[in-house]
A and B are shown apart, each in its own frame.
Chain A
Amino acid sequence: MKPERCFLGFLFSFLLTGVAEIQPAHNSLKPQRVHFQSRNFHNILHWQPGRACISNSSIYFVQYKMYGQRQWKNKENCWGIREFFCDLTNETSDIWEPYYGRVRTTLAGIHSGWTMTQRFTPWWETKIDPPVMNITQVNGSLVVILHAPKLPYKDEKGKTVSMENYYELVYRLFIINNSLEKEQKVYEGARRVVEIEALAPHRSYCVVAEIYQPMLDRRSQRSEERCVENP
């Protein structure tokens, strides 16, 4: 459906329903599936256009608040935008607190109602990315340095805050033998520097890592596989 036709259709249905029954037209405009997507505490509000139609002349308005507050706050950067997402990372940075976001749209001067998210608690809902690995070879053994994903927060001194401040994280390291299609867990623990010793010479090894959150029994996706040849 073309945007113009779509808009006319909307206007027609709006006129038909009339002032007395203004609600249905509003409802068909309301943004849908308003929800947070959270990765490493980067909390992005996403939505889809209302049922009325996908019109590129629709603009969106975003508000947010912490659960228990009376006032909704306008998100200035997302006030009258055309995108279907809005970054609320800074507004939802108290990661143990529950938040709400909501969105409405305007089309040809007609406001839709607000569509609200579910209660959103970053600490509970954020998905942690796999660790990043640096591998060096030292005298026939591998030294693996693991980094948890970067967070959007800085402390008072401007230093980045690590993921371990919020979860007791455990790193897991696996060696994969591609020819045998086997993998072996070689390390599980909180240390970020792991040495894998006693590797057979003249063989290649592939290493992969993940992060485990014991408190929630969740694990991240696997990191990319890194392969090295033992001299």
Chain B
Amino acid sequence: MAALQKSGSSFLLETLAASCLLLLALWAQGGVAVPITCPCRLDSSNFQQPYITNRTFTLAQEASLEDNNTDVRLIGNDLFQGVKMTERCYLMKQVLNFTVEEVLFPNSDRYQPYMQEVVSFLDKLSKKLSQCRIEGDDQHIQRNVNKFKDTVKELGESGEIKVIGELYLLFMALKNECTF
């Protein structure tokens, strides 16, 4: 029964994603003028795999040992300030993309063997969200994302370690904001 439900919901997701792709393709050709909203969502099964969940948490814990700056937190209330609940998965998508490309890929030789597995897991999630868009203005979201990026860059190497130390928070935020 559980398996049936799961495949049912992932089928629904795939249909949504496919129709979204179709819309995008049409839009790209200038065929139709429809507002484009693609689903910003992840199947909850992504967060129910104990192996990778444990790996992600352990990696975060290892990196957090090297993060002496306990005052500054990247994924917290400030990040969601002024962002509606319905827009938060989109926000997290931006944070995820930045994390994977600007932080995890360049640091992929560290924290082995966890890093390798966690990077490929998060990269997959990032690809699953690649079609995620929101309707209308996203300036207020971009502002928060930029603040996140700026803080990481300002802190330099310790900022990148902080991001890795917060992968637990990233994981939980993606789970909370992108699954329904």
Point out residues on A near B: beta carbons under 8 Å.
65, 67-70, 96, 98, 100, 116, 118-119, 121, 124, 214-217
Q: Which residues 40-93 of B have a CB within 8 angstroms of A?
A: 47-48, 50-51, 53-54, 57, 61, 64-65, 67, 70-73, 76
Q: Are B64 and A217 in contact (CB under 8 A)?
A: no
With known contacts A68-B73, A118-B61, A118-B64, A214–B168 Cβ distance under 8 A: no
Tell me whether chain B's interface is mostly helix, strand or loop, or mixed: helix
B169 touches A215 (CB 8 A): no
Partner of B48, one of A70, A98, A118, A214: A214
Contact B76 A68 (CB under 8 A): yes
Q: Which of A69, A96, A116, A124 contacts B71 (CB 8 A)?
A: A69
Q: A67-B70, A124-B57 are in contact. Are A215 and B65 (CB under 8 A)?
A: no
Q: How far is the CB of A210 from chain B (nearest CB, A)?
A: 16
CB-CB under 8 A for A67 and B168, given A215-B53, A217-B51: no
Residues of A within 8 A of B57 (CB): 124
Give min CB distance, B30 to chain A, whole Å.
46
Interface centre among B47, B48, B64 (most CB of A within 10 A): B64
Q: How far is the CA of A120 from the CA of B178 in the complex (A)?
A: 25
Contact of A67 among B51, B54, B73 (CB under 8 A): B73
Instruction: Please state if B70 and A65 are interface contacts (CB–CB under 8 Å).
Output: yes
State A67–B57 Cα separation when bound (angstroms): 16
Bound Cα distance from A137 to B70, whole angstroms: 55
Which residues of B are found within 8 Å of A70, using beta-carbon distances? 71
B26 within 8 A of A: no
**Number of residue pairs spanning A and B whose beta carbons lie under 8 angstroms apart:** 39
Q: By the criterion CB–CB under 8 Å, are A98 and B169 in contact?
A: yes
Interfacial chain B residues near A65, Cβ < 8 Å: 70
Report A-chain residues with C-beta under 8 Å of the C-beta of B76: 68
A98 and B73 CA atoms in complex are apart in Å by 10
Contact status of A124 and B72, CB under 8 A, knowing A119-B64, A215-B53, A217-B50: no
Find chain A residues with CB under 8 A from B65 CB: 118-119
In the complex, 12 of the A-B residue pairs with CB atoms within 8 angstroms, ordered by the A residue number, are A68-B71, A68-B73, A69-B71, A98-B64, A116-B70, A119-B61, A119-B165, A121-B168, A124-B57, A215-B47, A215-B53, A216-B50
Q: Flag if A215 contacts B71 (CB, 8 Å).
A: no
Name 14 extra pairs, CB < 8 A, besides A118-B61, A216-B54, A217-B50. Answer: A65-B70, A67-B70, A68-B72, A68-B73, A68-B76, A69-B71, A70-B71, A98-B168, A116-B70, A118-B65, A119-B61, A119-B165, A121-B168, A215-B48
Say which residue of A96, A119, A216, A217 sits within 8 Å of B172 (CB atoms): A96
CB A61 to nearest CB in B, in angstroms, measures: 18
Is the pair A214, B50 in contact by a Cβ cutoff of 8 Å?
Answer: yes
CB distance from A212 to the nearest CB of B (A): 10
In the bound complex, how far is the Cα of B168 from the Cα of A67, in angstroms? Answer: 13
Residue of A nearest to B63 (CB): A119
A116 partner residues in chain B, CB cutoff 8 A = 70
A122 to chain B, nearest CB (A): 12
Q: Mark B125-145, 1 if CB is under 8 A from A, else 0.
A: 000000000000000000000
Residues of A within 8 A of B50 (CB): 214-217
A-contact 0/1 string along B161-172, CB 8 Å cutoff = 000010011001
Within 8 Å CB of B172, what residues of A? 96
CB-CB contacts below 8 Å: B88-115 with A: none
